[in-house]
Amino acid sequence: MKVFVATAQTQGERGSDYHWCIEGELVRIVEVCPRDRGDPDGGCGCGRGFGGLNSHRSTTTARVAEVGLTLADYALAIQSSEQQEGWNPCDECAMSEAVDLAAMAVAWPVDSVLERRLDELVVRSLGVDA
């Protein structure tokens, strides 16, 4: 299945770019805080950020990757990441987030590099499906 992973590719195309994630780690689309809700280039940075499941850090660029995960694996990765951050997410929440992410990722060819503008994903570099 297709998922979103952190990438440094295309970093610097925007002056507001940042990349603190581990290359290739799974990322999620975190909720935007009130401060940045109206501005993807806001001071917090969450409106343009993808959150790394392993590093618990973030990046403004994500790549679509084909990986040998099931939806259940994807959900488990999300859930254990949240647990490491001190949350206690329910199975259903993690699964619903995994389903949402997979549904978004499947829309893009493998190796596409995307940026986030609040609730919208915008392509920076279009990949090609094998």
Q: Does 29 bind Zn ion (CB under 5 A)?
A: no
Applying CB under 5 A, which of residues 30, 33, 72, 103 lies at the interface with Zn ion?
Answer: 33
Q: Which residue is nearest to Zn ion (CB)?
A: 44
Q: Which residue number, 22 or 44, has a Cβ lying nearer to Zn ion?
A: 44
Q: Is the dihedral of CA 97, 98, 103, 108 positive or negative?
A: positive
> CA geometry: angle at 86 spanning 5 and 79, to 5°?
45
* Beta strand residue intervals within 1-130, DSSP E: 2-6, 27-28, 50-52, 58-59, 61-66, 113-117, 120-125
Q: Which positions from 40 to 79 touch Zn ion by CB under 5 A, shown as an x/- string? A: ----x-x---------------------------------
Least distance from Zn ion to the Cβ atom of residue 43, Å: 8
Least distance from Zn ion to the Cβ atom of residue 42, Å: 7
> CA geometry: angle at 121 spanning 60 and 84, to 5°?
55
Q: Which residue number, 33 or 123, has a Cβ lying nearer to Zn ion?
A: 33
Q: Which residue number, 44 or 102, has a Cβ lying nearer to Zn ion?
A: 44
Tally Cβ neighbours within 10 Å of residue 33. Answer: 12
Alpha helices in 1-130 (DSSP H): 71-84, 91-105
In the complex, the residues that contact Zn ion under the rule CB under 5 A are 33, 36, 44, 46
